[in-house]
Chain A
Amino acid sequence: MGATDPEKLVVVIDFDLNLDGTFSSPPQVVNDEQIELSEDPFWALARQAALDAVMNCEPYDFFSAKTYESWKEIRLNFSPAEMGGR
């Protein structure tokens, strides 16, 4: 929103799920170090927003238990480029 190059502010989050859709390990920001080093306040906000979103959605109980093997480990690439305000 405030950043002039939002397409660069990608946040990558890994998380693992139990069969009931709860986290089996806390979500990890894969590119956390890169975000820290950049000292870009918009990127830090994007990271917080992405983490909040992932946390808010737990439990991920809308998947079928039959396909558990296919969704027990998830990686989300948040790419703000096309999100509102621009």
Chain B
Amino acid sequence: MTDGTRTRLRRFFDDAGTIVEYGAEVVQPGAHDEGVLEGVAFAFGEAEGESCIVADCSPRSSEGTIGQRGIAELIRAARIAVRADVPLVLLLEGGAYRDGEAPFYLQGRDLSSVLAEVRERIPVVGVAFGSVRGALALALGLSHVVVATAAATITLAEAGAVAVEASDAPSPLARHGAADAVCADEDEAFSVVRRWLQIIRNPQAEHAAEDRSDDGERLRMLVAGNSRRAIDGRRLTDLLLDRGSSIRLRERLGGAVQTTLGRMGGRSVGIVASHSMVNAAAIDAPAAAKLGDFIEFCDTFRLPVIYLTDVPGLMAGPAAERTAVNRHSIRPYNAQARSRTPHLTVIVRRGFGQGLVVMGGGHHVPGSALKLTWPTGQFGVMGNMGAATIRSTSTSSQASMSADEAHADLVSRGAAGRAVRDFSMDALVEPEDTREQLIRFLTRLPLASQTSESGARR
């Protein structure tokens, strides 16, 4: 019986022979305490060269119940991780509270209140396997990143069936961006967690030279020809990051913005890319919420933020207003105004209105350190068509002209060349030189302490 637990826990580490294990022998309360294992164990060890505490909860019963001893183990794992100043990784399954144990409310201080404090001090990673319920679902909600396997479900309910759809459909956790990353299986989930820890804990990794000779052409092709063609923000991101370094977060939530962790020249960065395949990259309430979370996350772990911008504005129209987009769009804005990390901006194509402001074009970001535009950049305080209509009906003698003339005027005034000449952007950069330019800047930056002094207040 022990082996199931030990195997998953041990599998996580580089060398299971060097780990320190806790609580693997704990059993469920019973007459003589010789009964069934609780199914919770944790260990102190190393993954990809980074020390961490990993706790594994693999309940024995088919209902996935755990009891007070299991929860006490998880609390102890969290406390030791804080003392040792190492990340805490929670591998979770089950979580309904076992009938017949002393009531949960007698603990006085439960796992979720402990984690609410712990997350302000150290990175916390939650991984969902199978069906995660009740108090353990809250533990995931308090984690800095939530990784789930495709079969996982997360519910606050203690009991009852959880609908899991046919295996070929994307998991509901993926579809709604409830989990940051959804992985095919345990191996992939472990690989994401290990890379995540690496990016957070080691801000500057060794970087071997890569052959990127074709990337310039690929980047150019993204914006070549039809200016209305959608740009895949994920592909754009991956072409600029070190190969194989990217971790995409909450891909399906607010898809107009894609948020990715990765490395550039070995340096840990957070990338925010417009993704015009969803809503033409207009920012709606979910996209704004995701962007806000991500900026706060990068601030917590002192990661530079890089914007790859192609944004027509915030989402317009009654459906968007029904979601209070004017309130939600303040989330990223305020997070940027308070952010302590460098923000680097590359305008790839469109940069309009308040969308541009929250996609790295605003003057409110104290950390704004470099604003580049591709030659394809187009700018405006609001969308050109709308602005032209307004100007054509204006009483201003300076602005008075027909809608078509006004539109042509706006297009010429909003061109990338103008933007660098009137100093609304710092410099022009060619697509193929972009990565190199960003790396040059990043290498000049001192490495900030990567410890989370205080987690982002949500």
Q: Do A and B come from one complex?
A: no
Chain A residues close to B by CB (< 8 Å): none
